[in-house]
């Protein structure tokens, strides 16, 4: 029988392999839509069993760090260890989920992890824009099917990928076992149709709108000429809104905690 420690290691390795392929091969960038499902299952298991709260931050930090370093080695690019503080920060910020779930309605569930993730990336972009190269979903930015970011902004791609990963993990996770998955085929089909809807809509009904790209963001923060005039208006509204909502949720959770004492 495979031990839980081995299962955790295998799940982490699976996410590393999928994310690395998505980052290195442009044609495989859509793997980002499912690449972090394995480590989300680690999170789901620790929440279900109310044990091993350290597993999520450690797994996420190692996955992001190793994935970035592998990608740089494979593509013969200079290695920067700035990925480590970025990954540690993201792991700690998303771990605020436990504070929220303990003192607020737990039904908001893993949505808060997505919210904290978007808020953290926005904070990093605002304070340390050069660290944006470490954003997990950057590989999807090259997709030809993303002109809809003219409405959602630069963080629309991140939201799409996170919702995809968390939704799939929610469907696959089996709460009755330790670190196992359960194939719910009908739910998986519905979820796949929902997740890939932006691709099919734009494939059959092409849009003339120009999406907001990583290059637009880079130029904006480095005072370079930018052709997409929508960036100032819509480029970061999703990340900025997420940051404000995340702050309000944390403050409210702390107040509730104080009142309960």
Structural domain span for residue 31:
4-260
- Residue 133 to residue 139: CA distance in whole angstroms: 10
List the chain pLDDT tens, one digit each, 261 residues: 667 777 788 888 999 999 999 888 877 888 888 899 888 888 877 776 666 678 888 889 999 999 999 989 998 888 888 899 999 999 999 888 877 776 666 556 678 899 999 999 999 988 888 888 888 877 676 555 566 677 777 788 888 889 889 888 888 877 667 667 777 788 888 888 888 877 777 777 666 666 777 777 777 787 777 776 677 767 778 888 999 998 888 888 777 766 666
* Residue among 173, 172, 168 at smallest CA distance from 193: 168
The residues that bridge with 181 in the sheet, in sequence order, are 173
What is residue 50's three-state secondary structure?
coil
Q: And the tokens for 142?
A: 């090259």
Count of structural domains, the chain? 1
Question: Within the chain, what is the greatest distance between any pair of CA atoms?
Answer: 59
Q: Is residue 156 within 8 Å of residue 84, measured between CB atoms?
A: no
User: In sequence order, which residues have a C-beta less than 8 Å from that of residue 103 and are 6 or more positions away?
Assistant: 253, 254, 256, 257, 260
Q: Is residue 36 within 8 Å of residue 165, measured between CB atoms?
A: yes
């Amino acid at each position: 029988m495979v031990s839980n420690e081995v299962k955790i290691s295998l799940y982490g390795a699976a996410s590393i392999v999928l994310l690395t392929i998505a980052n290195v091969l442009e044609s495989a960038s859509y793997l980002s839509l499912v690449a972090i499902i394995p480590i989300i299952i680690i999170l789901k298991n620790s929440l279900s069993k109310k044990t091993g709260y350290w597993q999520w931050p450690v797994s996420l930090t190692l996955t992001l760090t190793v994935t970035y370093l592998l990608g740089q080695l494979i593509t013969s690019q200079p290695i920067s260890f700035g990925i480590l503080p970025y990954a540690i920060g993201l792991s700690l910020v998303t771990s605020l989920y436990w504070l929220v779930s303990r003192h607020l309605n737990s039904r908001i569930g893993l949505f808060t992890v997505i919210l904290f993730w978007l808020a953290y990336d926005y904070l990093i972009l605002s304070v340390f824009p050069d660290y944006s190269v470490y954003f997990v979903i950057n590989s999807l930015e090259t997709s030809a099917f993303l002109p809809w970011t003219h409405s959602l902004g630069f963080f629309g791609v991140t939201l799409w990928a996170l919702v995809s990963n968390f939704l799939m993990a929610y469907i696959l996770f089996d709460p009755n076992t330790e670190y196992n998955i359960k194939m719910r085929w009908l739910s998986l089909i519905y979820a796949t149709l929902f997740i890939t809807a932006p691709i099919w809509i734009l494939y059959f009904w092409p849009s003339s709108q120009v999406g907001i790209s990583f290059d637009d963001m880079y130029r904006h923060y480095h005072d370079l000429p930018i052709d997409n005039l929508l960036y100032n208006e819509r480029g970061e509204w999703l990340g900025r809104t997420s940051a404000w909502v995340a702050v309000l949720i944390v403050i409210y959770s702390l107040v509730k905690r104080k009142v309960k004492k």
